[in-house]
Structure 1
Amino acid sequence: MKTFPDIKQSFRELIATPSISALEAKLDMSNQGVVTLLSQWLDDLGFDCQIHPVPNTRGKHNLLAKIGQGHGGLLLAGHTDTVPFDEGRWSQDPFTLTEKDDRWYGLGSCDMKGFFALVLEAVRQMPTQDFIRPLYILASADEETTMNGAKAFAQSKAIAPEYALIGEPTGLKPVYMHKGHLAQGIRITGRSGHSSDPAKGLNAIEIMHQVIGQLLKLKQHLAEHYREEAFSVPYPTMNFGHIHGGDAANRICGCCDLHLDIRPLPGLPLEVLEQLLTQYLAELSQRYPGAISISQLYPGSQPFAGQADAQWSQLVAELSNQAPEVVNYATEAPYIQQLGCQTLVWGPGSIEQAHQPDEYLDTAYINKTVDLLKHLIYHACIKTP
């Protein structure tokens, strides 16, 4: 076997390879460098690697690697992209691995390039020739924005593992359920004019006032009809995050924009939520023809629900010594689950470090995560039924 990088070197090279995802084209980057690195290393370990372009992206790719034969097995999944970093707020170069105070700092160290380095080390220490079921590794694109990588992979139905782990930073707690995310923009297009004669215009702020009234009714409906007590906030939430309209006190407002965020529970698909939004504004849309438009601010993410008492959930919980739990943030889990596998979100580090300046992974997670991964791979790929 060729000389293989140790954990720190693979961390260092992954972090040094920028792969920022952003909706704005000027900030967006390809993930080709990260995918190429991982493919080279996995090939050295004996994996069969396939790289596929992801539709509806700016040159992004998914990597799927497989080792072992047979049916079922385990999928270890993660995303190759990071969020943009805050210029001037990092204490060190975000693209240089910096070790300090028992922490490894760097953009993606926790969320979540570091997970791939730990997976590589776990596999390197295992007798892959003994695998009687396959081990898959998926490195996906654009999780931080559109999740188009995971969506495209789920639609391809290329594999059918029995189990899946998505290595987001959960503190090694198995996460079996999370909310979804829908971000919509509502624009009211009125008619501007002089404020001295309101009848000659159509005030967009006044119409938006009525729209907000209907949205508050929808918010109440969601709270009353959808509940899941496992969540700390056990109902779908709606937040009005941005509003802007008008340009002068003596002009009738001709345009008003509202941005809102809704976090649906499992059992409330985004399509149904969008239909409810349209339904609650239907009467106003008829009263003011052509004045109300609803648009997607950016692609949403479906809610995810597994089972806390499923075999996989219980095994991961037992080995990790952590009870299965639910979280409020969104991941690729609902799309990976479409492959038909028992799916969990589970990985090293804290979500509190994600998307923050001076992102880091506590080094206490390194050996522990490698050991746990080896146990989980053994159970899914080697252990006889």
Structure 2
Amino acid sequence: MPELPKLETMVRELVAIPSVSSTLPRWDQSNRPVVERLAQWCETLGMEVALLPVNEAGDKWNLVAKAGQGEGGLVLAGHTDTVPYDEGSWSSDPFKLNERDGKWYGLGVCDMKGFFALALAALAPALAYLRKPVTLIATADEESSMDGARRLMQAAKNYGDYVVIGEPTGMRPIRQHKGILMDAIKVEGRSGHSSQPALGRNALEAMTDVMIGLRELRTSWMEQYSNPGFAVPYPTLNLGCIHGGDNPNRICKSCELQYDVRLMPGMPMETVRDSIRRRLRSVAEKHEVDIQLQPLFDGVDSFQEREDSRLVRLCEELTGKSSGSVAFATEAPFFKQLGAETVVLGPGDIDQAHQPDEYVALDRIPPMMKLLEELIRRLCL
């Protein structure tokens, strides 16, 4: 059997490689050293390895590594980047795996570098017996833009029949989650003296009607897209921040509102944006101002897998837990768009992600390893 480093060694090495992704350039880092280390281990196993560029700068990369021949099979997928970290708030160095109190601590150990080490360790003993391929996919920039997954999907390639994404779910199979869009609405009016309102076009007053319209839409969405499978069983719209005007005695010329919408399954992003644009047109005509809607990023669709799909049923059987939903977004909808049965399932807990002293409990490691080994056996041997 091909020799990989010990599981703890692999986790330790992955945590030690910084790969922060951020919308702020001062924090953003390349993930290439991480995918190169994963590629080395995949090559040790004799897998067919491809490193795929994500951006023109050449500092963001995806990895696709395939074991076995033919089409279909199982995909074990995840992201190689982490969020930024709070310097001085950790009890130990975030880039050094630290074991204490029955836990492994380190940046990304839970979300979600540790999953890659588990996936490779589970795959190694099965290599000589594969009848269907097992593919490891590791992406860039999930925590900031999802550009790694977007770029991967441009090839419109069927990477496998079944996809397991190792995000932290507490060992519970997740078959649905909300999507997200974040937009800005910009109103441009005409300034003037506050004592002569007829000489200007007040952007703040127009924005007031915009916000009323958004709240009305939110109410209608709550009725239309209710789903009891979620802790918050309806879509949310949050009016996040607003900026406008420059002085109390001037008619406000410009105003900008930023908001987010958490989309329920069956609630397409473009349908939502189209309904908002229609409201904006009527407000613009009423106030004789210019109103533009500008997406802050491309957004992520909601995700939903069939409750009776083979993969969902198998994961429920192997974990002893019924499938559920989460509020956070993942790369699942990108794989689902290619027709693969998809489940989000990993050993960590989301409560430990994105905060100081991120950890994964050591008692989750053996059952997660056994789960992955059994998925490979059932689906690919």
Please indicate, yes or no, whether the TM-score normalized by the shorter chain is above 0.5.
yes
1:185-219 CA distance string (max 9 Å, x none): 11222233332332333222111111111111111
Moved more, 6-15 or 53-62: 53-62
Q: 1-side partners of 2:62 and 2:210: how far apart?
A: 41
Residue 198 of structure 1: aligned partner: 197
Name the counterpart of 1:364.
363
Structural RMSD (CA): 1.6
Instruction: State how far apart, in whole Å, the 2-side matches of 1:51 and 1:134 are.
Output: 18
CA distance in 2, matches of 1:134, 1:67: 5
- For 1:253 and 1:57, the matched residues in 2 are separated by 40
What's the CA shift for 1:4?
A: 2.7
Q: Is 1:185 aligned to residue 184 of structure 2?
A: yes
| Alignment match, 1:326 | 325
1:67 pairs with 2:67: yes
| Structure 2 counterparts to residues 53-132 of structure 1, below 5 A | 53-55=53-55, 59-124=59-124, 126-132=125-131
User: Equivalent residue for 1:133?
Assistant: 132
Cα distance between partner residues in 2 of 1:99 and 1:192: 61
Contact kept, 8 Å, 2:201 with 2:288, in 1: the verdict is no
Partner AA of 2:327 in structure 1 = N
- Aligned counterparts of 1:136 and 1:86: Cα–Cα separation in 2: 34
Aligned residues: 381
**Post-superposition CA distance 1:68-95 (Å, at most 9, x none):** 1133210000001111112222222211
How far apart are the structure 1 equivalents of 2:58 and 2:182? 22
Letter of the 1:167 counterpart: G
Aligned-pair distance for 1:105? 1.0
Distance of 2:267 and 2:361 partners within structure 1: 36
Q: Which amino acid aligns with 2:331?
A: E
Deviations 1:119-177 (A, max 9, x none): 121123x2311100000000011111111111222231333411110000001111011
Q: What displacement does 1:251 show?
A: 2.6
Q: What SS is found at the alignment partner of 1:322?
A: coil
Query: d(CA) in 2 for partners of 1:257 and 1:157?
Result: 37
SS in 2 for 1:240: strand
Whether the aligned pair in 1 keeps the contact of 2:332 and 2:343 (CA below 8 Å) is yes
CA distance in 1, matches of 2:290, 2:156: 42
Distance 1:6 1:14, change over 3 A: same
Native 8 Å contact 2:158 2:340 kept in 1: no
1:22: which partner in 2?
A: 22
Deviation at 1:58, TM superposition (A): 6.1
1: distance between equivalents of 2:159 and 2:123? 20
Aligned-partner SS, 2:117: helix
CA distance in 2, matches of 1:189, 1:325: 44
2:201·2:287 contact (CA, 8 Å) conserved in 1? no
- How far apart in 1 are the matches of 2:107 and 2:188? 42
Aligned to 1:42: 42
Q: Distance in 1 between matches of 2:104 and 2:159?
A: 35
Q: CA deviation at 1:56?
A: 6.6
Change (3 A) 1:64 1:253: same
What amino acid does structure 1 have at the position aligned with 2:265? P
Quick one: distance in 1 between partners of 2:74 and 2:4?
A: 23
1:233 is aligned with what amino acid? V
**Residue range with higher mean Cα deviation, 325-334 or 286-295:** 286-295
In the alignment, structure 1 segments of 5+ residues that lack a partner are none
C-alpha change, 1:286 and 1:198, in structure 2 (3 Å) is closer
Between stretches 344-353 and 1-10, larger displacement belongs to 1-10
CA contact (8 A) 2:22 2:28 kept: yes
Assess if the C-alpha contact under 8 Å between 1:95 and 1:106 holds in 2: yes
Q: Which whole-Å CA distance do the structure 2 matches of 1:256 and 1:87 have between them?
A: 35
Q: Which amino acid aligns with 2:228?
A: E
List gaps (5 residues or longer) in structure 2.
none
Q: CA deviation at 1:50?
A: 0.4
- Residue identity over aligned pairs, in percent, reads 45
Alignment correspondent of 1:230: 229
Contact 1:110 1:359 in 2 (8 A): yes
Which residue identity lines up with residue 41 of structure 2 in the other structure? W
Partner of 1:313: 312
User: Given that residues 240 and 260 in structure 1 are in contact (C-alpha distance below 8 angstroms), is that contact kept between their aligned partners in structure 2?
Assistant: yes
Equivalent residues in 2 for 1:251-330, closer than 5 Å? 251-289=250-288, 291-330=290-329
Q: Which amino acid aligns with 2:151?
A: A
Partner Cα distance (1:51, 1:160) in 2: 15
Normalising by structure 1, report the TM-score: 0.95
User: Whole-Å Cα distance in 1 between the matches of residues 45 and 9 of structure 2?
Assistant: 16
**Structure 1 range deviating more: 17-26 or 246-255:** 246-255
- Mark the CA change 1:118 to 1:277 in structure 2 (over 3 Å): closer, same or farther: same
TM superposition score normalised by structure 2:
0.96
Asked whether the 8 Å contact 1:68–1:128 carries over to 2, the reply is yes
